[in-house]
């Protein structure tokens, strides 16, 4: 099997299987699910911070060691990745928030319920409207709400795939095995994200099997991200650095702009902070032991 084929296969396992496993756990163990997912999301965010800061960005800078200009190039592309995912998430929020009664001037813009994490509350509003009216317009709005929800989930999974693909491209240059370690970490990281997707779907009335299958399918964008990350990373050392930097920035937004604020709002305590610290330390162990 070619390296590209292996990257696609391992990413499918990390993305689809990892997310699907989280989806299965979510529909089976729903009691106190928000607190459980809060801790798991914080832990996964901590692991990703370690991987991004101690591995991916270090590899990106290492493509041209000693070059100050290259460091600023890496920093700039990281900011671009962070900013782009932020803007896309902002567009999704503007599309969904005004149509859900739970959001008001006093309510935090960041989700504090699992249904808000993937905007399934927006989908449920349109589902109720269509059930009451059966109008063609309501059907179209329901379909668009479904697409928005899918896009919101893809914004989390696509950069994860880029991280895996770019890591494998880096391995071809350095002879390392960081790609496999990154894929394992992403797979573990996807378990709480899968739970965050399946719990509100099941709570909204969807069958457990269907919710689990749909949750697993939401991991598919990870494969597309891996293909792009690997392709760009194999073009040249500069493109590899840019790919690693962009993916790092995108993942940092997912962690600091989405996962951590949501985990703290879902469980307003100090527990998510300790879970994140545990994740950071586990990430260090994975990288250096």
Tell me the C-alpha to C-alpha distance, in Å, between residue 207 and each of 147, 199, 202.
Answer: 20, 11, 6
Q: What tens digit of pLDDT does each residue of 56-102 get?
A: 898 899 887 778 889 999 999 999 999 999 998 888 888 777 777 76
Tell the residue number behind the tokens 């985990």, with chain if given.
Answer: 263
Res 13: pLDDT: 92
**Arithmetic mean of pLDDT over the chain:** 84
Token digits of residue 216: 């697993």
- Rounded to an integer, the average pLDDT of 37-43 is 87
The distance of Cα 38 from the centroid of its chain, to the nearest Å, equals 15
d(CA 43, CA 55): 18
Res 224: pLDDT: 93
How does residue 177 score in pLDDT terms, banded at 50, 70 and 90?
Answer: low
Where along the chain do its domains lie?
A: 3-288
Tell me the C-alpha to C-alpha distance, in Å, between residue 38 and each of 41, 163, 268.
Answer: 5, 23, 10
Token digits of residue 102: 């739970």
- Rounded to an integer, the average pLDDT of 108-132 is 75
Q: Is 223 within 8 Å of 162 (Cβ atoms)?
A: no
Token digits of residue 121: 């509350």
Q: Is 259 within 8 Å of 91 (Cβ atoms)?
A: no
Using the predicted structure, report yes or no on whether residue 173 has a pLDDT greater than 70: no
- Rounded to an integer, the average pLDDT of 5-23 is 91
């Amino acid at each position: 099997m070619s390296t590209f084929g292996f990257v696609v296969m391992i990413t499918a396992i990390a993305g689809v299987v990892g997310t699907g496993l989280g989806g299965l756990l979510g529909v089976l163990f729903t009691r106190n699910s928000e607190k459980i997912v809060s801790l798991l999301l914080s832990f996964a965010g901590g692991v990703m911070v370690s991987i991004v800061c101690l591995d991916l960005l270090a590899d990106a800078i290492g493509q041209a060691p000693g070059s100050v200009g290259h460091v600023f190039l890496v920093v700039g592309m990281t900011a671009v990745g962070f900013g782009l995912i932020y803007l896309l998430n902002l567009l999704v929020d503007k599309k969904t928030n005004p149509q859900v009664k739970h959001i008001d001037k006093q309510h935090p813009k960041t989700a504090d319920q699992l249904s808000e994490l993937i905007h399934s509350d927006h989908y449920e509003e349109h589902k109720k409207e269509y059930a009451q009216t059966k109008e063609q317009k309501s059907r179209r709005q329901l379909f668009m709400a479904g697409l928005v929800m899918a896009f919101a989930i893809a914004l989390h999974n696509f950069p994860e795939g880029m991280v895996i693909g770019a890591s494998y491209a880096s391995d071809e240059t350095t002879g390392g095995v960081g790609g496999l370690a990154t894929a394992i970490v992403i797979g573990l990281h996807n378990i709480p994200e899968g739970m965050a997707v399946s719990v509100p779907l099941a709570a909204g009335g969807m069958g457990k099997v269907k919710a689990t299958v749909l949750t697993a399918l939401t991991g598919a964008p990870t494969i597309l991200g891996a293909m792009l990350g690997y392709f760009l990373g194999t073009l040249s050392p500069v493109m590899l650095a840019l790919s690693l930097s962009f993916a790092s920035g995108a993942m940092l937004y997912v962690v600091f702009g989405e996962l951590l604020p949501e985990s703290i709002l879902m469980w307003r305590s100090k527990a998510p902070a300790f879970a994140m610290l545990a994740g950071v330390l586990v990430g260090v162990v994975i990288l250096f032991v």
